[in-house]
Structure 1
């Protein structure tokens, strides 16, 4: 009997990928798809190598039924969504994968699957992507020309505007003015335009995630917020003027606040988001507050792309002990943002 209702076709189409084949990704996806409510929140499609999907289920000690579908273009119009769709790709052979090792074959596999999903997004066949952990070094060995996956995504999707990674933990989100660059270069990347772009982007993204009026604050750069200029003038010359200009354009953000205390406000529920000035300023705090729960959102792209904030965990790959919490959180964000931003059909 067809139990699908009209509203089922308004669910976002969310693509899941298995991540680096030598890591914990296949196991995590099996554990995620075994959760009973997953297919109630989205029209889910798993994309990847059949043998790798079977291996992930074996490692997890689970069996998850999927509906084979020939192509991503066929997913949105499915009559039955009680189980995930599965689009098979042959990107890597079992003998090319050595568990727990970053290798070119695994990186190439990740790129092929993610590129296919992004092509489907550009064609409006899917609304969001949630990918299992990948390894940047393996991807570079496998042909990635960019410093990280976010820049690869932005190039593939034709993004010309500002983009950056968001790291999230529960209801707290962070954005960055600079990201994967040497720390000695971070000060040179501070300017009012980048600070305003990072702030506007996270504000809009939180609204797409269901928060109507986000409480966003901006961190300082120097110790003690510069101590009135004695420890640096970036707060006086760059950051505070950027905050004022944002306020003048109607964005109710605050700051700059000392970076060593701003996360206390977030912990106590006073903030929804913090704009940080460089990578580890936010990452250390977020990971300390909940390493196994955090999510990375690729901000500024035309569709939501999410992933766990942790890595491939090569050291525990194949043991069946991977924690599913972060990828479950990443999937939930992809569903919410995919619903808010999905392409009308």
Structure 2
């Protein structure tokens, strides 16, 4: 186990992020030894007040390493900026968007400096980020930019991919947060091959062997031999052949409506999907309470729960922390 602490970023404070973090500390106090929250002490105090029974105490810290010194059943909180005024639950707020982005940036830079072992990120709200003037639509792009800047590279020289995983299925996406029309254009030989390389490297480290990678087609029935489109013939199959020539255990393209079932029964370790919803709907259907989002390709470990800010139930005490707990577990596994 890494001796370095693990950072949990607050997420959008108008959503359920602070609340599920507080729940996780109550539910898994031993698991969370050495974790700390990057966020606002006052907003975390508001979140703990939503918990039934005796709320855990908050322990403000100034350095990440102090997380290990906090007494059991206390929540260490490192505040990267000035105290924030409470914002209404369930309302898009530029202040909440700015705080959320600042927490992620602080934690990313600490991880890139080697001060923390991993990041676990509570959900952001894309409209709040935009309202705050943050030039990124979500965590993945923000972290990619931070990592590229740290390495002195252009953003396009730091390719990343999203993997969503639960105990039954893993899927990695060729494109992430783009319009569907743009996602179709992103199905290129270079992008598919790059996705396979990133997937192979990341999963080989996790599994300690070469992963069995299934590649989904883009079109119904994987194009049916060109009857429903030629992307499989002209783009996806050549990328798979190139990956196999590099020693990867990649196969396909397979019909998208059946390949996820085959992976779920153990035939494959991971499915590479061509666009966001193609890959995420099957995983989320199996239960968002078990899903974990992992960013692949970064020089740091980042996991996240498989859900959003849930503005509709924020502040009600009804949020479910199980996906966050799974993200916390996976972060620990990935840094061992």
- When normalised by structure 1's length, the TM-score is 0.88
- 2:152 equivalent in structure 1: none
Match of residue 289 from structure 1: 286
Q: Does 1:110 align with 2:100?
A: yes
Distance 1:84 1:304 in 2: 22
Tell whether the 8 Å contact from 1:216 to 1:271 is kept in structure 2 after alignment: yes
Q: 1:67 to 1:51 in 2, by over 3 A?
A: closer
Report how many residues are paired: 326
Which whole-Å CA distance do the structure 2 matches of 1:81 and 1:206 have between them? 35
Partner of 1:27: 19
Residue in 2 aligned with 1:85? 76
Q: How big is the shift at 1:84? A: 5.1
Residue 157 of structure 1 and its aligned partner are, at CA, apart by 1.7
Whole-angstrom CA distance in 2 between matches of 1:335 and 1:178? 27
Is the contact between residue 295 and residue 329 of structure 1 (CA under 8 Å) also seen in structure 2?
yes
| Alignment partner of 1:100 out of 90, 103, 110 | 90
1:198 corresponds in structure 2 to 195
The alignment status of 1:39 with 2:36, answered yes or no, reads no
Question: Is residue 237 from structure 1 mapped to residue 237 from structure 2 by the alignment?
Answer: no
**1:6-28 superposed Cα distances (whole Å, 9 cap, x missing partner):** xx7x3342101221111111110
Contact kept, 8 Å, 1:26 with 1:53, in 2: the verdict is yes
From the superposition, tell whether residues 195 and 20 of structure 1 become closer, same or farther in structure 2 (CA, over 3 Å): same
> Hey, what's the Cα distance between the residues in 1 that align with 2:51 and 2:133?
30
Name whichever of 154-163 and 20-29 sits farther off: 154-163
CA distance in 1: counterparts of 2:198 and 2:180, whole angstroms: 23
Q: Which residue of 2 aligns with 1:256?
A: 253
Unaligned runs of 5+ in 2: 149-154
- The CA distance in 2 between the partners of 1:92 and 1:194, in whole Å, is 43
CA RMSD of the aligned region, Å? 2.0
| CA distance in structure 2 between the aligned counterparts of 1:233 and 1:66, rounded to whole angstroms | 57
Q: Does residue 301 of the first structure (1) align with residue 298 of the second (2)?
A: yes
Matching residue of 2:328:
331
CA distance in 1, matches of 2:39, 2:233: 50
Which residue of 115, 123, 144 maps to 1:154?
Answer: 144
